[in-house]
Amino acid sequence: MSSLRGTGSGWARSRINLLSTPFILVAGLVLIALIGQFRGDVVFDRVVTVMFINLLLTVGLQIFMGNSGLGSFGQYAFVAIGAYASIWFSLSPEQKSLALPDMPETWWLYGQHQPFLVATFIAAGIAAVGGGLIGIAFVRLRGASFTIATFAMLIVVNRVALQWEALTRGARTVLGIPKYTDLLTAFVWAAIVVVIAFAFKESTFGLKLRATREDEAAAASIGIHAALMRWIAWTLSAGVSGLGGALWAHFIQQFSPHNFYLRETFLIIAMLVIGGAGSVSGAALGTVVVALGQEQLRQTENWINAERTAGSGLFGAIPFDVRGFADIVLAVAIILVLIWRPAGITNGREITFATFRRLWPGNRNIPRGGADPVLGDVS
């Protein structure tokens, strides 16, 4: 077991090294939050807050995908459930009469008016219960069948949300949601989820689940209940996604079922895969890299379009509005990563103290820390 987990140079040291990951990640988040807080720039504040929410969602996806090795395209079904469920409970009846005008006043739900924190927990709970119920059936599936089933679930939830006007206002945008999520709230939740994801990965459940990912038959032969381990991770992951939905709803303040569909799904999968699905550090790093990269590209895009409209120089010659360039770069990036570095930037490892010590000149021989035994190369 110790060789599975450590750097190979003594139990105590490897244990400390292993546990350094959540501290390093949270320290990184603190740094970003501080920069966001003190730049006092509205746009940057927004970018960082959205990034924290996406980080929470990507890490939530990692809890399931990274440990089980199965792909989920259905995470945004739970984000949608979390977002709508949170506003059912957080809005006052007066606010509901404007935001969800189709909800009958006689409903018990209509009279609910809970503090935001309570609404958030309820939303995460509803998503987890929904995930847990459908998960009982899903965990029997493998490979492509599993992913297609999760994709089908996304579509079912999307279509139901588009039609069930009493609960969602149908295809129309829900407006007038109070802004309860700010940069600090998003940061705190993201940090908590990073710690939860890490704790789960290193827990008995996480370790067993990772064993089934590598060889289900071998794992079963030593008494691991693969379906149960998958179910636990899936349900936890659904709950985290619901939590993310609740936070996002009270940040963005208006949304419709179209905000929880393929584009959004693709973004968090891209963040996870580019960073490396095998580790929590990968999910976190991938989110930061993709979010900052996209923001930079969007700014470049706007600048090019401004130049183009002004008709100056080279850009005046472009015959179309430069739009969606960030998406193209993201899609190319994910394909290239899958071809050249399938385990992502982090190569499926966690970032640990050893990672930093190795950066020091002459320290290349220090063993890499936090290697996932199979996804990364075992050194």
Which residue, 248, 335, 346, is CA-closest to 28? 346
> Is the CA virtual torsion 55, 328, 263, 91 positive or negative?
positive
Contacts for 379 with CB less than 8 Å, ≥ 6 apart: 367, 368, 371
Q: According to the binding rule CB under 8 A, does residue 331 interact with another protein?
A: yes
Q: According to the binding rule CB under 8 A, does residue 160 interact with another protein?
A: yes
Residue from 95, 114, 327, 356 touching another protein (CB under 8 A): that is: 327
Residue from 57, 61, 65, 236 touching another protein (CB under 8 A): that is: 65
Distance CA 249, CA 247 (A): 6
Stretch that binds another protein, among 53-61, 204-212, 240-248, 334-342 (CB under 8 A): 334-342
Instruction: Return the number of the residue (70 or 80) whose C-beta is nearest another protein.
Output: 70
Query: Which two tokens mark 35?
Result: 């920069």
Instruction: Convert 138-164 to b/e letters by CB count within 10 Å (16 or more is b).
Output: bbebeeeebbebbbebbeebbeebeee
Q: How far is CA 74 from the centre of its chain?
A: 12
Q: According to the binding rule CB under 8 A, does residue 66 interact with another protein?
A: no
With CB under 8 A, what is the number of residues at the site for another protein?
44
Q: According to the binding rule CB under 8 A, does residue 61 interact with another protein?
A: no
Q: According to the binding rule CB under 8 A, does residue 178 interact with another protein?
A: no
> Euclidean distance between the first and final Cα of the chain, in Å?
15
Beta carbon of residue 144, minimum distance to another protein (angstroms, whole number): 4
Q: According to the binding rule CB under 8 A, does residue 133 interact with another protein?
A: no
Element (H, E) at 20: helix 11-39
Contact call for residues 20 and 352 (beta carbons, < 8 A): yes
Q: According to the binding rule CB under 8 A, does residue 231 interact with another protein?
A: no
Contact call for residues 58 and 272 (beta carbons, < 8 A): yes
Q: According to the binding rule CB under 8 A, does residue 73 interact with another protein?
A: yes
Residue from 3, 9, 92, 145 touching another protein (CB under 8 A): that is: 145
Instruction: Convert 332-343 to b/e letters by CB count within 10 Å (16 or more is b).
Output: ebbeebeeeeeb
Q: According to the binding rule CB under 8 A, does residue 335 interact with another protein?
A: yes
Binding mask 258-297 for another protein (x = CB under 8 A): ----xx--x--xx--x------------------------
Residue from 167, 288, 330, 375 touching another protein (CB under 8 A): that is: 330
Residue from 50, 118, 129, 155 touching another protein (CB under 8 A): that is: 155
Beta carbon of residue 261, minimum distance to another protein (angstroms, whole number): 10
Stretch that binds another protein, among 36-44, 79-87, 111-119, 160-168 (CB under 8 A): 160-168
Q: According to the binding rule CB under 8 A, does residue 339 interact with another protein?
A: yes
Q: According to the binding rule CB under 8 A, does residue 152 interact with another protein?
A: yes
Distance CA 67, CA 95 (A): 41
Contact call for residues 96 and 114 (beta carbons, < 8 A): no
Distance CA 26, CA 33 (A): 10
Query: Which two tokens mark 126?
Result: 């509803």
Distance CA 114, CA 116 (A): 6
Stretch that binds another protein, among 87-95, 233-241, 247-255, 323-331 (CB under 8 A): 323-331
Q: According to the binding rule CB under 8 A, does residue 332 interact with another protein?
A: yes
Contact positions vs another protein (CB under 8 A): 65, 69-71, 73, 137, 140-141, 143-145, 147-149, 151-153, 155-156, 159-160, 162-163, 262-263, 266, 269-270, 273, 320, 322-325, 327-328, 330-332, 334-335, 338-339, 342
